[in-house]
Amino acid sequence: MYKKFILNNGIKVIAQKIPHVRSVSIGVWVNTGSIFETEENNGISHFIEHMLFKGTYKRTAKDIASSMDGIGGQLNAFTSKECTCYYSKVVDSHLNIAIEILSDMLFNSKFDENDIVKEKSVILEEINMYEDSPEDLAYDSLSKLIFNKHSLGLPILGTYDSIKSLNRNDLKKFMENNYNSDNIIIAVAGSFEEEKLIEELNEKFGQASLKKEIKNQIEKPVFHSSYIYRNKDIEQIHLCMGFEGFSNGEDSLYPLFIFNNIFGGSMSSRLFQTVREEHGLAYSIYTHPSFYKKFGLFTVYVSLNPSQLSNILPLITKETKELIHNYISEEELKRSKEQLKGNYILGLESTSSIMTMLGKSEIYGKKIRNSEEVIEKINNITMDDIKNIINKIFKKDKVSLSIVGNIDKDTTKNSFEYIKNSL
C-alpha cells in the first residue's frame, strides 16, 4: 500500500514499499511540459531536461553517467506534453546515491553557456531525426491539426526557430517558475526503509528554497476536424485517423482499454486480423488512446503502399461501422478483460511500472487503486460500458486525418471525406 508525505519545503512524496524485491525505482515528476509553452519558447521544457544531464557544480556530465554506471543503476528522463520526469532504478542499498544524484541535477545544474550551444545542436539534430521519421511526423501533424492553435498541439521538441532563440536566462527563468514545490512530486516504489527514505529526501530535496506557485489552468482544447498532408518522397504512406477520446481522469479508461484491445490494440484485434492477416495489405496497423488532463484522443495508425489506400480505407471503415451498429461480442469482451488483467498483473512485478503509475496518478490527480480494486473494476465492465465508448468516439464531426508520404492534397481530402461519409 502506498503512503504520502510532504517534505519540509512542500514537495509531495508518494511511496509504495515492495518488500520481496531488491530494486527500488524513484522518479521526480514535474508538472511542466509543452502544453505550458508558447510558440516563442516551444521546446524549452525538453531543453531543460537535456541540460540537467550536462553537469552540475559538483559533477561533470561524465561524472553523472559514471556515478550511476558504477553501481549498476539506470538514470534517464523524458518530457511529455504535460509533465517531465527524471527517474532512476537501483539496487536498494544504493538508493541514497540515486537520491543524491537526482537532487544534484535538479538544484545544482550549471547551465554552462558552451553546453547550451552544444545541446542546441543536439536537439536540432533530434528534430531532424524526427522529421525523417514519417510515423512520428504523421502523429505530430495530426496533433497540430486537431488542437489547432492550442498549446497542446505544440511539438515537445520545439521548432528550429524556437530552439535557436532560447538562451541561458530563458532556461533558468522557466525552470525557476515551473520547478517549484507545488509542481514537483517524488514517486518511489520498491525496497526501502520508510524513515530513512524520508530523512534522505528531506536532506537532499526538502532543503531547497523553491517558489510556491500553482500553475494557471489551461483551457480545454476544442477538437478541430479536418485533414493535413506532408508530401515526402518515400515508399510508404503513413496515415493517422484521429477521434476525440477521453481525458485521463475519467472513469471510462478501463472500458476504453478493453475496447482498444478488441479494435486494433493487439495482434488478435479486428483491424490487425482483417487488414494484415486476411488481406495482407499493410505490415503495421494499430489503434491506441492518448490521455491528457482535460482531453483525449483515439488514433488509428497504418503504414501502407500508396496503391493500397483505396483498398484499406473501406476495410477500416467497414470494421468501424460494424462496431457502431453491432458493437462487440460477449466472447470478445471476456477475452479482452483477461488480456487487460494479465497485462496489469505483470506490470505489478516491475518497480519502474509501479513508480510510473504512482507519479502519473499524482500528477493527474487520479485516485490510486490497489490491485483488488483494479481487478474488480475490470471484472465489472459491461457491454453497455463498451457501447458508450464506441458511441462517444466515432462521430462524423470529431474525426481528423493526417497522411505523410508521396501523396497530394486532393487524395488526402478525398480520403478524409470518404471516412466522414462512411461513419
Residue 349's pLDDT band (boundaries 50, 70, 90)? confident
Which residues sit opposite 29 in a β-bridge?
85, 185
- Report which of 402, 409, 413 is spatially closest to residue 141, judged by C-alpha positions: 402
pLDDT of 31 reads 94
- Report which of 35, 44, 33 is spatially closest to residue 161, judged by C-alpha positions: 44
pLDDT of 303 reads 96
Q: pLDDT tens digits, residue range 232-274?
A: 999 999 999 999 999 987 778 999 999 999 999 999 999 999 9
Question: What distance in Å separates the CA atoms of residue 30 and residue 111, rounded to the nearest whole number?
Answer: 19
Residue 211 has pLDDT above 80, yes or no: no
Cβ contact 102:42 at 8 Å: no
Question: What distance in Å separates the CA atoms of residue 74 and residue 352, rounded to the nearest whole number?
Answer: 11
Q: pLDDT tens digits, residue range 120-130?
A: 999 999 999 99
Cβ contact 233:406 at 8 Å: yes
Residue 214's pLDDT band (boundaries 50, 70, 90)? low
Q: pLDDT tens digits, residue range 153-170?
A: 999 999 999 999 999 999
- Report which of 216, 209, 217, 183 is spatially closest to residue 84, judged by C-alpha positions: 183
Chain region(s) in the chain for CATH 3.30.830.10: 2-204, 227-422
Neighbours of 397 (CB within 10 A): 9
Which residues of 19-119 form beta strands (DSSP E)? 23-30, 74-79, 84-91
Which residues sit opposite 228 in a β-bridge?
402
- Kindly write down the DSSP assignment for every residue of 310-373, as one continuous string: HHHHHHHHHHHHHHHHH---HHHHHHHHHHHHHHHHHHTT-HHHHHHHHHHHHHTTPPPPPHHH
Residue 217's pLDDT band (boundaries 50, 70, 90)? confident
Identity (one letter) of the amino acid at 248? N
- Take residue 137 and report the three cell numbers written for it: 511526423
Q: Which residues are catalytic?
A: 49
Cβ contact 351:23 at 8 Å: yes
Which residues of 245-328 form beta strands (DSSP E)? 284-291, 296-304
Report phi then psi at 9, rounded to 5. -100, 10
Residue 9 has pLDDT above 80, yes or no: yes
Question: What distance in Å separates the CA atoms of residue 201 and residue 186, rounded to the nearest whole number?
Answer: 9
SS3 content of the chain, % helix, strand, coil (to 5): 50, 20, 30
Q: Which CATH number fits domain 2-204: 3.40.50.300, 3.40.50.720, 3.30.830.10, 3.40.190.10?
A: 3.30.830.10
Q: pLDDT tens digits, residue range 291-318?
A: 999 999 999 999 999 999 999 999 999 9
Residue 216's pLDDT band (boundaries 50, 70, 90)? low
Question: What distance in Å separates the CA atoms of residue 315 and residue 280, rounded to the nearest whole number?
Answer: 12
The residue written with cell numbers 535557436 in the block is: 164
Q: Kindly list the distances between the CA atom of residue 322 and the CA atoms of 271, 314, 326, 415, in Å, as whole numbers in the listed order.
A: 12, 12, 6, 19
- Take residue 333 and report the three cell numbers written for it: 469482451
227-422 fold:
Cytochrome Bc1 Complex; Chain A, domain 1 (3.30.830)
- Report which of 24, 32, 28 is spatially closest to residue 12, judged by C-alpha positions: 28
